[in-house]
Homo-oligomer: A and B are copies of this chain.
Amino acid sequence: MTEIATPATDSLSRTPWDMKEYQPHHTGTPLIQGEYDASLATLVWANGEQASFPLIWLRDHCACDSCRHPQTFERTFMLLDDAALTVQQLSLESGNLMIEWSDSHLSRFDAGWLQQRRPSDVLPETPVPQSRAWQLSHQTHVTSFGDYMAGGEARLGWLEALCRDGFAVLDDGPSEGGEIDQIAATIGPIRATNFGGRFEVYSKKAPNNAAYTPIALELHTDLPNWHQPPDIQMLYCLANDADGGESIFGDGMAVAEELRQRNPQAFQLLAETPVDFRFADERTDLVVREPVIHLDASGKVIEVRFNNWIRDSLRLPLVKMQAWYAAYRQFWSILREPAFRLHLKLEAGQMVAFDNRRVMHGRQSFDPTTGRRHLQGCYVDYDMVESALRVTARQLD
């Protein structure tokens, strides 16, 4: 065991070393002591905190230009290649850690960066909020188009609501067409599907999808017949003057939780029984076998697949069939209760964004002879929503 102690340095005068991270890290607390043995280095910060790091961890996390690419910041150091994992010298420089390895390679670690990465069971804080079920009484998060596009706190709050509630609204936007592309560009690329990239929702002469007719659309999730249905759907309203055509939304997470309360067996059946969803046309045949309710390992509802149009032939043993139908109908009937349905007649210049993996959407029928109804829609990846949220948050730090 070799021990090195240096006097505490003034934290304010300490220059953080570049660890090739975009995420800012604490710089307030310098190291005041460091020691090591054959496998661990043990460090003490000026505020009294102490932690041990495996030497292999420290070597693996060296941020010098030959271990992390100076432009991409990616790790170019290959742990498996012949690298010294024994320390020749450990020292503190201006409260930061410097290690010279037995092959003379030099590694520098910023004290604050190390402090944030102490070996621990505790997950680091994340700016992405946890999902939370909601009902009609929920206050929808609304931000103006202009404030959102300007970025900063307004955009951060909107993206947080989208991650937490799976639902958020923009309003007071223009309605010239194409605004949805500008909004998508603040998040990420449009996720294209068998129905294309950006789509136009209005009554079409030769529809290949019920959305392109004027009929009422029962609450549903889109493309549950994909292994990976699109995550976030955005619908931007350019015109909504026809009679009818009110949009309806319902949180599948809330409906599933309500079913769990009222009828645990029915809930379990929908969560455990994969059923087929299928859409086919001349050029496409997309089919998956998945349950209506998806749970994570802890039993939390993380996804709902509900779409009566493209539910395929139900293939189950006879003994399970009646019980499955009963559970499915009970889920559906909860979904029809007013407490679980949010009605919203979209106005030109308004946009809704919702998490298609949990929030269902639908609409009342409309009469295309009484006026125009035209929405522009697209999907974006949840990954990119989280990314936009993190980048917005770090710019505010």
Q: Which residues of A contact B (CB under 8 A)?
A: 21-23, 39, 52, 54, 56-57, 60-61, 69, 71-76, 78-80, 117, 119-121, 123-124, 188-194, 196-197, 206-210, 213, 215, 218, 226-228, 231, 279-289, 308-311, 313-318, 321-322, 325, 328-329, 332-333, 336, 381-384, 386-387, 390-391, 394
Contacts and interface: CB of A to CB of B under 8 A. Distances in A.
Given A57-B325, A192-B192, A287-B386, 13 more contacts: A52-B318, A54-B322, A60-B314, A72-B210, A117-B315, A123-B289, A188-B192, A189-B194, A194-B384, A226-B381, A226-B383, A228-B381, A285-B391
Nearest to A128: B287
14 contacts: A21-B280, A56-B322, A69-B207, A71-B208, A72-B209, A72-B309, A73-B280, A75-B308, A119-B316, A194-B387, A228-B382, A283-B391, A285-B390, A286-B387
B280 A75 contact: no
A215 B383 CA distance: 28
A281 B228 contact: no
Contact of A57 (B121, B194, B314): B314
State the oligomeric state as a number of copies.
Answer: 2
A interface majority secondary structure: loop
B54 A318 contact: yes
A61 B381 contact: no
Contact of A383 (B73, B189, B286): B286
Contact of A329 (B74, B79, B207): B79
A180 B60 CA distance: 38
Contacts of A209: 72, 74
A280 B22 contact: yes
Contacts of A123: 289, 315
A302 B370 CA distance: 52
Nearest to A40: B318
Given A71-B207, A285-B390, A308 B78 contact: yes
B23 A280 contact: yes
A77 to B, nearest CB: 8
Contact of A121 (B21, B117, B282, B317): B317
B280 A72 contact: no
A119 B317 contact: yes
Listed from nearest, the 6 A-B pairs whose CB atoms lie closest are A189-B192, A74-B309, A285-B390, A119-B318, A22-B280, A226-B383
A124 B315 CA distance: 9
B311 A75 contact: yes
A21 to B, nearest CB: 7
B75 A309 contact: yes
Contacts of A286: 383-384, 386-387
- Between A74, A119, A308, A311, the greatest number of chain B beta carbons within 10 A of the residue's beta carbon is seen for A74
A286 to B, nearest CB: 5
Nearest to A284: B387
A28 to B, nearest CB: 19
Nearest to A192: B189
Contacts of A329: 79-80
